[in-house]
Chain A
């Protein structure tokens, strides 16, 4: 099976029901995406599949064949992703950092869909868990990004 990840084509050997996360990390060695809960509840494993934030721990790899997958390794190649990372650095969001690649993915997906999200939209979408409790810093970074978006 062939996968498109970060604009490159990879040939993978895993079985069709293997979680995408295992393929990304174990087979392809892209370890920026993290394993958290394994049941789609925490968001640490988030990647973008055709621009949609997707929890790779519950995504059978055969369901994303032919899709364009983006992981944290390539997020700065995306204009919105680059802005998110800059805001994350400016606000010194990460503490241990384990959940942050997933947080950045969720933020990027929201801003690409809705450049000036309301507080309600941000609250509805930014639901990834963080054991360090960086929620306030994430909220502040998101507020900056929402204001700085190009207004249409």
Chain B
């Protein structure tokens, strides 16, 4: 009898020991023995470029705070967490980090004292950064970022969910680990694009759907779910695959480059969370890198089953906007008086300055969050090359009721061949509170 339990007990003990080892394990870094040495200036410049491409500043800064000094609140289902100070301040920042410490935080999500970072820090993507880029990034932060004494805010997650060691198991299940490996069947441009998109760019953090444990359901193009569009932050991050309706299927590679360089093209203008990514990150990439990103994204096939039949312009809806007929169609009067002066009675906008609504992702996607959010709150300032945009979507939350917004969006999402479908007033009400910029309870930022 005793003996029958002996073997399972040994197995159990080994499993527990293995689990404890994993939870407490300090991941290896190729920089363990690295000596601190004076940095070459081009390494600082390269590190700054990697920091731009990684958009570290977007989360690790507040609009009125010192760059990289942390503090941004991110809501999770368990409570808020706060981005940390990553300036080289020795007391409150990362000034005491060795290169190996820095590497473990960025690529493995583990701090020098062994704590696991929450995957709000996109280390599953940064894990793919090359050793050279990590070294450059570290050099930039240590040599060129101004130290700021700004203590980190403790997370608002209560016991037992504040225990971080289970994240070691999350990492085992959901991260792949390892630097980006070039595909031998693709050319250098494609591989550079894949590297930027998958590692520093961490595009999938917003554009790839997440699973029940908040994990990105794919980390590269081997899965058709990769960059296939996702709902988060009260926005719908569109598909970045060749889906004509919800993705970039109708865009050329030059359109993708223009969008990331200028913030606009004939199809769309950046808004929502992408405005941050554009303002702080994508416009600073070289034309060659943007061409690589465009080339890689345009190689990702769309999914007609998910995307539906491709959009085609239909002029029929213009009749509903005739003054004598507007009262008959809900939303038509609101569209004619609040929207049409910019976006046109024909829905075509004034590209590239004012985006079309005819064929826009926000009017074609089943997810209506972006359409509602941008109508309630307007678009963020787009600053291209230091020059703020001349035209911006104003917020309509004070002018229009939930019903009026639902009606006008239902009109837009069924006009000019759009197929996004009706918007319910309840869906507007649901986003109105949590996205109110005047509220101290605003929780816009979910995990990204």
Contact = CB atoms under 8 A, between A and B. Distances in A.
A121 B337 contact: no
A77 interface: no
B338 A59 contact: no
A114 B324 contact: yes
Q: Main SS of the interface on chain B?
A: mixed
A123 to B, nearest CB: 9
Contacts of B342: 40, 55, 58
A60 B353 contact: yes
Interface string A97-113: 00000000000001001
Given A54-B341, A58-B341, A117-B323, A124 B350 contact: no
A127 B341 CA distance: 12
A60 B391 contact: yes
Contacts of A54: 341
Contacts of B392: 39
A150 interface: no
Nearest to A15: B390
A41 B395 CA distance: 11
A37 to B, nearest CB: 8
A41 B393 CA distance: 11
A18 B390 contact: yes
B326 interface: yes
Contact of A55 (B327, B333, B341): B341
A63 interface: yes
B333 A124 contact: yes
B394 interface: yes
Contacts of B394: 39, 41
A114 B323 contact: yes
Contact of B326 (A60, A63, A124): A124
Interface string B301-344: 00000000000000000000001101100000100111001100
A18 B337 CA distance: 22
A51 to B, nearest CB: 13
Contacts of A92: none
B323 A124 contact: yes
Contacts of A113: 323
B240 interface: no
Nearest to B327: A120
Nearest to B399: A41
A150 to B, nearest CB: 18
A110 B323 contact: yes
B354 A58 contact: yes
Interface in B392-443: 392, 394, 399
Nearest to A117: B323
Contacts of A121: 323-324
B393 to A, nearest CB: 9
Contacts of A39: 392, 394
A59 B324 CA distance: 25
A17 interface: yes
A105 to B, nearest CB: 12
A125 B322 CA distance: 10
Contact of B338 (A18, A19, A41, A118): A41
Contacts, number: 47
How many residues of A sit at the interface, in one of the four size bands?
Answer: 20 to 34
Interface of A: 17-19, 39-41, 54-55, 58-60, 63, 110, 113-114, 117-118, 120-121, 124-125, 127
Which of A17, A55, A117, A127 has the most chain B CB atoms inside 10 A of its CB? A17
A127 B350 CA distance: 22
A124 B332 CA distance: 10
Contacts of A127: 337
A128 to B, nearest CB: 10
Contacts of B341: 40, 54-55, 58
A17 B323 contact: no
23 contacts: A17-B390, A17-B391, A19-B391, A40-B342, A41-B399, A58-B354, A58-B391, A60-B353, A60-B390, A60-B391, A63-B353, A113-B323, A114-B324, A117-B323, A118-B324, A120-B323, A121-B324, A124-B323, A124-B324, A124-B326, A124-B333, A124-B336, A127-B337
Contacts of A17: 353, 390-391
A63 B333 CA distance: 24
A110 to B, nearest CB: 7
A19 B323 contact: no
B380 to A, nearest CB: 15
A111 to B, nearest CB: 11
A124 B327 contact: yes
Nearest to A45: B341
Nearest to B326: A124
A50 to B, nearest CB: 13
Contacts of B399: 41
Contacts of B326: 124
Nearest to B333: A124
A59 B342 CA distance: 7
Contacts of B354: 58, 60
A55 B343 CA distance: 12
Contacts of A117: 323
